[in-house]
Amino acid sequence: MRLLDSILEYNEQFVETKEYEKYQTTKLPDKRMVIVTCMDTRLIELLPKAMNVKNGDVKIIKVAGGIVAHPFGSVMRSILVAVYELNANEVCIIGHHDCGMSNINSDGLLNKIKDRGVTQERIDTLTYSGLNLKKWFEGFTSVEESVRHSVELIDNHPLLPADVPVHGLVIDPKTGKLDVVVKGY
């Protein structure tokens, strides 16, 4: 059975047996925090457990590397919506050790794109139109530095209220241990 089909088959039973009942909550976060973290598979359950966060407690925005790359991109927009529309009043950036975005090789990634059938011509067209793909795919060398950079970008954002603290942490994907990089209070 293909993956989506097996997911849908499971889902039918999930709903039928009312498995959802134990997850019912509201869209407003009880702990009033919005977290930006990485899409890493090891953090799916570990991160909330390690922080004592359960369904309904916080907003979690997931993006490769937990990086807030642009002051007017979709991650920053999500943070502002969480603050102004959904009652969050603290922001927390959480990077992690052994991240797929650390030391990413942009050239290697672009080669993989070409190997999968995207033509050099198409890449050139994007480059000529002003997009720096190499930079776009660039990750980070130090997770602490990356977290600090995202914290600063959010903290200095012209649309973020001054009384919203922005924290920066690094989590160990093996043990769940949190280390503080920036305490926003």
Contact residues toward Zn ion (CB under 5 A) are 38, 40, 99
C-beta closer to Zn ion: residue 88 or 94: 94
Tracing tokens 């950036």 back to the chain, one arrives at: 93
Query: Which residues partner with 169 through β-bridges?
Result: 94, 180
C-beta closer to Zn ion: residue 41 or 127: 41
Least Å from the CB of residue 18 to Zn ion: 34
C-beta closer to Zn ion: residue 165 or 176: 176
Tell me the three state secondary structure of residue 150.
helix
C-beta closer to Zn ion: residue 41 or 119: 41
Least Å from the CB of residue 173 to Zn ion: 8
Least Å from the CB of residue 41 to Zn ion: 9
Query: Which residues partner with 168 through β-bridges?
Result: 93, 182
- What tokens appear for 142 in the block? 């130090």
C-beta closer to Zn ion: residue 47 or 83: 47
- Report the candidate in 68, 29, 67 with the shortest Cα–Cα distance to residue 51: 29
d(CA 18, CA 29): 23
| CB proximity list for 181: less than 8 A, separation 6 or greater | 95, 144, 147, 148, 151, 168, 169, 170
Least Å from the CB of residue 40 to Zn ion: 4
d(CA 62, CA 125): 30
Least Å from the CB of residue 102 to Zn ion: 8
